[in-house]
Structure 1
Amino acid sequence: MTDQDRNALLAAAVRLRTEGHKEEARQQLLSLSAAFPADAEVAYQTAWAHDVLGLEAEAVSFYERSLEGTGLSEEEHRGALLGLGSTYRVLGRYEDAVGLLRGGLERFPDHGAMRTFLAMALFNTGEHHEAVRLLLELLATSSDDPYVQRYRAAIEYYAQDLHATM
């Protein structure tokens, strides 16, 4: 199979997934992944195809393979980190999720979804204060709600110490 064939088959499988033909996309991506086992982009798309079908346990090895390889765009790399971190959390691998998502935020500090999934994983590990802090900071910096913005300074202050009084 040529690189041109690979590109066409990958594009077709992604199109199938986005159009709602998830199982057909997964089957095509499994075949493509078998033909290109070291291809990070194919592994990422295969992981995603499993994830959208609720097949998280099967998605893990593809996410891991995608992150071990090279060739992911920056957006795909962010997606693979978020996907794997979220999948670890869903599977009860909370410490793995926290470690991966913290590392992801070091590389992509402004990624709001990654902060949110890290907060959920932190909650699962009992780190409630850190989880709420992350969510309050995200709320204060990203909300368009005029009332949140009116109290932004207070929200940011309390995010640092939920036990503080003004």
Structure 2
Amino acid sequence: MELRGFSDEHGVQVASWALDAKEVALLSGRTEYPFPEDLLTNWRTVEKDIHSYLLFDGDQPVGYGEIWLDDEEDEVELARIIVDPKLRGRGVGGELVRALLGPALDAGYSEVFIRVRPENVPAIRAYHGSGFVDVPAALMEEWNDGQPVPYRWMRYAGEQVDDGELRG
């Protein structure tokens, strides 16, 4: 599989991967379902500190994710990660996260974070398998203050190796 920069020609396809209002909200910040017609070609925010990517299997897009750069906090956040629903449960999410770590780490910031809804057990499993660990509970509580929902916050601690140790 190969990570490539996102192009708007795939916007409608990626938007179709959102199967309910919760997934639309995670992808676009809007809660209408199906995906709002007015957002089908311009649903993502184009800002210099947000980089959008697609994971391809051959010529077929299979996953989407963003990297949010934060100069002020010296950190990167992986965000808006979604996998083609036909391929969920097959390890594509973990592969997408590991691919996104390439440009995230190359950006040179001191920390890489990800947030996830606590009930999204498959995503949490993929993030753990990709080297993410939970931030301390007090920090999680602090970061959730003012958020629309309470998230489970995780930071990248390094690559998982066969003996269970982390390599960073």
- Normalising by structure 2, what TM-score? 0.31
Greater share of residues in strand: 2
- Of the two, which has the highest radius of gyration? 1
Greater share of residues in helix: 1
Identify the structure with bigger relative contact order (alpha carbons < 8 Å, sequence gap 6+): 2
